[in-house]
Amino acid sequence: MTDVNQLITDHLDVWTAAIEKKSSAGRGNSGAITLYGIKKLRALILELAVRGKLVPQDENDGGVAFYLDEILRLRNELVRHGKSKKTKALPEVAKGEVPFDVPESWVWTRLQDVTGYIQRGKSPKYAEDGQVQVVSQKCVQWGQFDLEKARFINDASVDTYGPERFLRSGDILWNSTGTGTVGRVLAIEVENDQTLVADSHVTVVRSISGCPRFLEVFLSSAGIQDRIDPTHERSLVSGSTKQVELNVSTVTALPVPLPPLEEQNRIVAKVDELMGLCDALERQAEDSLKAHQTLVETCLATLTNSQTPEDLTQNWTRIEAHFDTLFTTEESVARLETTVLELAIRGLLVSQDPSDEPAATWLERAIRTRDKLVKAKTIRKPKATKDVDGLPKPYALPESWTWARLPEVGELARGKSKHRPRNDRRLFDGGEYPLVQTGDVARANPFIVESESFYNDFGLQQSRLWPRGTLCITIAANIADTGILAIDACFPDSVVGYIPFEDDVDVTYFDYFIRTAKNDLEHYAPSTAQKNINLEILGEVLVPLPPKAELSRICDRVSDLLKICKMLRQRIRDLESSSVKLADTLTSKIH
């Protein structure tokens, strides 16, 4: 017999270390995490419970045969008094239907044979208020009965409900419709002042005698929940992956492992005890993760509060000594990356060199270049903007820096896709010119090296081929995502392209800037209250501009630091993968 208490306490590090990142889209999104080890532990507890390995068997327990006879007697009595409908007898559970062995004192039977009522609820006539509430699938959550989401039925229709349809304490509600919802199961308690019925998407399973919670444990176990999938070889549901159904006929015929009644009660008590330990362990792990993130934020704040590159060096040295304890989650590494970029664009990451050409000189030269290109009609004249000197600045810059706008130091223009419809095959058949879409930009890291679509010559005629090195900025769908073309490519007007006027300017710096400003663009566009962006807003954004020589040093330094972050992230993923495998191995050996 497995001592699960000891299993939990002896391997606390395994359960809390095994975490899994939930899927997330977009570069730099660390995503939420799942406490995978504790999730596996909960599943193990339920699996051991329904296999008879959680609590010891007791030879003094009453026999299962007598228990089943008593259930049959009670069912017949209900039918005789008109309180239940007579059901068609089902065949005994065949050997091929048994998924695992159970103790000798247990038997395999069917769910219909241990219940007095299995039925879907009925479609209600809703009202704003009334005497009877309708339980929908939203009310049935894992471990929680949420009646705040329950509506009311029309009082005039209450008489159409037979007495068996009103829910009772001990009823098991099993969500039976829809991907993501079907399968959730819960044994409920009904208060004296509550009158409840189920709607047609919820199956009601009512035990006659015994311990309803044991059936809840069984229906919640992985052996059942894994089969709430239309692709499972022994699926319990029918229909497509988008709209699956758990049919009543499947529920009634479901094979159930049945222990003596006394053991059912011991199993449920043990499950509750162990789930309470899991709850405590989960809270402890979550509190630890929150405390760790607070520590990371506090330490990184000392960097962003540095006044000079020299101050930053001292503060960085203090943090560097604790890298192994500070940056142990992907979220903390993502925060470190953000801090590096913030320091870079504020002039704190590298030292200023008095011999560098001031940024103001470069800016004046770039504006003259822009004006020549406008006069030659090579680029469009940008929209007039307010003078930078008269605007409030987000923060102070080093003396050799200046504030500028993107169109003052480079071409900022929307992509082109004039032809309609945009998906006309005549644009693409035999295509060879890459067409970059917003999704391609969102996936850049930071370079865009490929695309899924290609224009042909006809498609190219109604678009524009941008050179490699162009900074792409999305202004629709994914707002302010960035990527740098590693290939010559076209893109539609949902993407803005940016090319510095001077060839020796590293466009990566402007990529870093947009990434730091993405969530706070209104801070950089004081003339508008909009939180989304378009070409006009981008054209008004104030950009901290360093001397060109310093810009190159900044990009080199950031590149080195981001490589370190990448290594940290990979190490974390490797450790998390090992922890997940260890949790899987530990639980699989105990079944």
Task: Write out pLDDT tens, residues 389-433.
Answer: 888 888 999 999 999 999 999 999 999 999 999 999 999 999 999
The domain ranges of the chain are 106-259, 280-305+312-344+567-581, 359-546
Cα–Cα distance, 190 to 173 (Å, whole number): 12
Q: Encode pLDDT of 84-112 as tens digits.
A: 778 888 999 999 999 999 999 999 999 99
Q: Encode pLDDT of 492-503 as tens digits.
A: 999 999 999 999
How confident is the model at residue 441, as a pLDDT?
Answer: 95
Of 3.40.50.300, 3.40.50.720, 3.90.220.20, 3.40.30.10, the CATH number of 359-546 is 3.90.220.20
Q: Encode pLDDT of 55-81 as tens digits.
A: 999 999 988 887 888 888 888 887 887
Distances, alpha carbon 571 to alpha carbons 322, 327, 405, in Å = 16, 10, 39
* Residue type, position 428, single letter: F
Cα–Cα distance, 229 to 225 (Å, whole number): 8
Q: Label residue 132 exposed, middle or buried (CB < 10 Å: 0-12, 13-18, 19+).
A: buried
Q: Encode pLDDT of 169-179 as tens digits.
A: 999 999 999 98
List of residues 6+ apart from 495 with CB closer than 8 A:
414, 415, 436, 437, 438, 441, 472, 473, 474, 475
Measure CA 524 to chain center.
30
Cα–Cα distance, 371 to 362 (Å, whole number): 14
Q: Provide the mean pLDDT of the chain.
A: 89
Whole-model pTM? 0.71
Residue whose entry in the numeric block shows the structure tokens 């695992």: 100
Question: Closest Cα to residue 506, out of 482, 474, 538, 484?
Answer: 484
Measure CA 355 to chain center.
49
Select the highest-mean-pLDDT range: 82-86, 239-243, 339-343, 585-589. Answer: 339-343
What single-letter DSSP state applies at residue 525? Answer: -
Find out whether 467 and 446 touch, Cβ atoms under 8 Å: no
Q: Encode pLDDT of 435-445 as tens digits.
A: 999 999 999 98
Work out the number of other CB atoms within 10 angstroms of the CB of residue 283.
Answer: 10
The yes or no reply on domain 106-259 and CATH 3.90.220.20 is: yes
- Comparing 106-259 with 359-546, is the CATH topology the same? yes
Q: Is the pLDDT of residue 531 over 70?
A: no
Residues facing 144 on adjacent strands: 141
Work out the number of other CB atoms within 10 angstroms of the CB of residue 266.
Answer: 20
| Burial 389-426, CB ≥16 within 10 A → b, else e | eeeeebeebbebbbbbbbbbbbbbbbbbbebeeeeeee
Q: Encode pLDDT of 452-466 as tens digits.
A: 999 999 999 999 999
